[in-house]
Amino acid sequence: MTDNNSVLETRNLNIYYGDFLAVTDVNFKIPRHKITAIIGPSGCGKSTLLRAFNRMNELVPGTHIQGEVLFDGRNLYEKTVDPVEVRYRIGMVFQKANPFPKSIYENIAWGARIHGYKGSMDELVEFSLRQAALWDEVKDILKQSGLSLSGGQQQRLCIARAIAVKPEVILMDEPASALDPIATLKIEELMQELKQKYTIVIVTHNMQQAARVSDYTAMMMLTGETRSGTVIEFDETNKIFTRPKDKRTEDYVTGRFG
Amino acid sequence: MRKNFETEIQQLKDELLVLGSMVEQQILGSVEALKKRDMDASRRIREMDDQVNAKRYAIEEQVMIVIATQQPMAHDLRLLASILEVSGELERMGDYAKGIATVSIRMGDQVLLKPLIDIPRMAQKGADMLHRALTAFINEDVETARSIPAEDDEVDELYTQIYHELMMFVIQDPKTIERANWLLWVAHNLERLADRVTNICERTIFIATGELKEIESTDDKK
C-alpha cells in the first residue's frame, strides 16, 4: 500500500495511562475509503487505540503517548496541531448514542455553526441526514428533540452530526452493540455507503460484524511482560477470517481463546 | 472452550468416515460381484447407493446446521466447507461403483470376455488410495495428502493396459465388441474414481494450510 492510499498511520505508538503502558508498539496504516475493523479480547486496548486517532485520550488526565500518529502525512501530536480541529476532521461515534438534548435540526447545525459554517444550514442538515440514511424518517419532525428518537435513529443522528462537519475519517466505537439486529443492519449498510466518501475505523466485539462490514481487520492482543495491547496481525478481512497467519488470531476468531 | 462445537465437528468427521467406508465397500463389492457374475450381489450394490446418498445428504444438512449455529471462522470454516466438498466426492465415487453394478446386471448371463485380473487390481488400488486419503483428511496429514495423487499413475497405467488388451480382442474378433465395451466402461469408472481421490487430498492441504490449488497430475503434464 502506498502512502497515498492510507489516511492514518501509526509509528511505534505507545499509549500510557499515567505509568501504565496500555498500548505498545503499534505500527500500521489505515487505508483510505475503506472500513478497518479493530478486534480483540476485552481490555486489549482497542478503544484506547481508536481514541488515539483523534486525540480523544487526552480528555483522560494522565494520558500521554510516544511515537507518532500521521494523518495525511502529518503528525497529529505536533504542538502546533489543534486537537479540536483534529476531532472535526476525524469524527467519532460512540457505543451509546449521545445526541445533544436539542432538536434534531440543532444536533446537526450546532457543530457546523461553531465550526464557522457559512452556507445554507437547511441544506447541510438535509445533506447530513440523507448521508446518514435518516432523512426520510425525520424530515417532518426536525424540531423534535433528538432524544425522542429510537436508539438506532439516535445513533444515525450521531453519525449525521459527525458528517456535518465534513470529516475525512469516522471512528466508531462499538456503534451497534446497544442496538437490535434491524437497527444494527441499518448502521452496517450505512457504513458501506459512507465509505465511498469517508474512511471508517470501527472497534467491535462482534466478530461476525467485523467480518461482514470491514475491508481490513487489525487483531489486537495483550502481549509481553507489561501485558500491553498491540496489533498482532493486520490484513484483509477475508484473510483474517478464513486463513489468519497468527495462531493467536486463529484461536480468537474461532472462539478458542482464553 | 467450545466443547459442543468440538463435539459436533468430531461427529461430522465420524460420519464422513462411515460414508467413506460405505463407498469403499461399494467399489470392491461391485467388482467382486462382476467377477463372480453374482447378480444378487450386483443388485445389492445398486441398492446401497440409496444409503450412500442419504448419508451424504445427512452430512450436508448437519454441516449447514453447524455453520448456521456456530458461525465458524478460519480453520473451522475451511474444515466444514471441505467436509461438504469431500462428502460430494464420496457420493460421486459411489455412483461409479453403482455404474459398475449396472454393467454387471445388463450383461445378464453373458460370460466375461476374459478372466478379470487387472480390473480388480484397479479397484483394490482405488479403494486403498481412498482409504488413506480419507484418513489423511481426518488427521490433516498434509504430507500423505501430497504423496497420494502420484499413485494415480498406477491406476492410469492399468487402465491403458486394459484398453489395449480389449482392443486386441475386438480387432481379432469384432463380435466381441459389446463384451469388450462393458469391461472398458468398468475400467473407465475405476479410473475416474481414482482421479477423485486427488480432490480429497487437495482439501486436506486446504484445511491445514489455507492454500487452495489443484494438485497437478502427471496426466496434465503429458
Q: What is the pLDDT of residue A3?
A: 58
Q: What pLDDT does A2 receive?
A: 43
> Is the model's pLDDT at B220 over the cut of 90?
no
Contact B78, B6 (CB under 8 A): no
pLDDT band of residue A115 (cuts 50, 70, 90) is: confident
Q: What is the distance in angstroms between the Cα of B9 and the nearest Cα belonging to chain A?
A: 13
Q: Answer whether residue A207 shows pLDDT above 50.
A: yes
Test A243 with B76 for CB contact under 8 angstroms.
Answer: no
C-alpha dist (Å) from residue B13 to A15, A165, B53: 46, 56, 17
Average pLDDT for chain A: 93
State the count of interchain CB pairs (< 8 A) between A and B. Answer: 36
Range name among A65-79, A178-192, B166-180, B182-196 with the lowest pLDDT average? A178-192
Digit-coded pLDDT (tens) for B125-154: 999 999 999 999 999 999 999 999 999 999
pLDDT tops 90 at residue A1:
no
Which sequence spans correspond to the domains of chain B? 3-215
Residue type, B222: K
Q: State the amino acid at position A87 in one-letter form.
A: R
Mean pLDDT of the region A156-178: 94
Going by pLDDT thresholds of 50, 70 and 90, the confidence category of residue B63 is very high
Predicted TM-score (pTM) of this structure: 0.84
d(CA A115, CA B214): 59
**Window 44-103 of B, Cβ < 8 Å to A:** 71-78
pLDDT above 70: residue B219: no
State whether CATH 1.20.58.220 applies to domain B3-215.
Answer: yes
Using the structure block, give the residue that is written with the C-alpha cell 470491514: A214
pLDDT grade for A16, boundaries at 50, 70 and 90:
very high
The string of DSSP letters for chain A reads --GGGEEEEEEEEEEEETTEEEEEEE--EEETTSEEEEE-STTSSHHHHHHHTTTGGGGSTTEEEEEEEEETTEETTSTTS-HHHHHHHEEEE-SS----SSBHHHHHHHHHHHTT--S-HHHHHHHHHHHTT-HHHHTT-TTSBGGGS-HHHHHHHHHHHHHHT--SEEEEESTTTTS-HHHHHHHHHHHHHHTTTSEEEEE-S-HHHHHHH-SEEEEEEEETTTTEEEEEEEEEHHHHHHS-SSHHHHHHHTT---
The CA dihedral of B28, B34, B37, B43, to the nearest 10 degrees, is 80
Set of cell numbers at residue A220: 489486537
What residue type is A176 in one-letter code? A
Side chain identity at B11, as an amino acid letter?
Q
Kindly state whether B212 is in contact with chain A, defined as any CB-CB distance less than 8 angstroms: no
User: Pick from B175, B174, B173, B193: which is nearest to B185 by CA?
Assistant: B193
Question: 3.10.580.10, 3.50.30.60, 3.40.50.300, 3.30.70.260: which CATH number matches A3-98+167-253?
Answer: 3.40.50.300
- Considering chain A, what percentage of its residues have pLDDT values greater than 70? 98
Considering CB atoms only, which of A208, A211, A250 is closest to B75? A250
pLDDT tens, position by position, B25-53: 999 999 999 999 999 999 999 999 999 99
A205-218 average pLDDT score: 94
Question: What's the pLDDT score for residue B3?
Answer: 85
Residue A52 has pLDDT above 80, yes or no: yes
Residue B130 confidence (pLDDT): 98
Partner residue facing B78 (CB), from A242, A253, A256: A242
Q: Do B77 and A241 touch (CB under 8 A)?
A: yes
Quick check: B2 contacting A, CB < 8 Å? yes
> Which band of pLDDT confidence, cut at 50, 70 and 90, is reported for residue A258?
low
Mean local confidence (pLDDT), A145-164: 95
Given a cut of 90, is residue A47 above it in pLDDT?
yes
Question: E-assigned strands of chain B?
Answer: none
In the prediction, which pLDDT does B41 show? 97
pLDDT at A199 over 50: yes
Residues of B in contact with A255 (CB under 8 A): 1-2, 5, 73
pLDDT band at B218 (very low <50, low <70, confident <90, very high): low
Measured distance CA(A171)–CA(A199) in Å, rounded: 8
* Structure confidence at residue B66 (pLDDT): 94
Interface contact flag, B73 A253, Cβ < 8 Å: yes
What share of chain B has pLDDT > 90, as a percent? Answer: 90
Chain segment B156-171, per-residue pLDDT in tens: 999 999 999 999 999 9
Half-sphere exposure of B65 (CA within 13 A, CB side): 12
* Closest by Cβ to A242, choosing from B1, B71, B74: B74
Q: What is the pLDDT of residue B217?
A: 66
Q: Do B73 and A207 touch (CB under 8 A)?
A: yes
- Is A241's CB within 8 Å of B75's CB? no
Cβ–Cβ below 8 Å for A254 and B210: no
* pLDDT score, position A90: 97
User: How far from the centroid of its chain's Cα atoms is residue A201's Cα?
Assistant: 4
* Average pLDDT value for residue range A194-211: 95
- A24 φ, ψ (degrees, to nearest 5): -130, 140
Which residue did the predictor score with more confidence, A183 or A24? Answer: A24
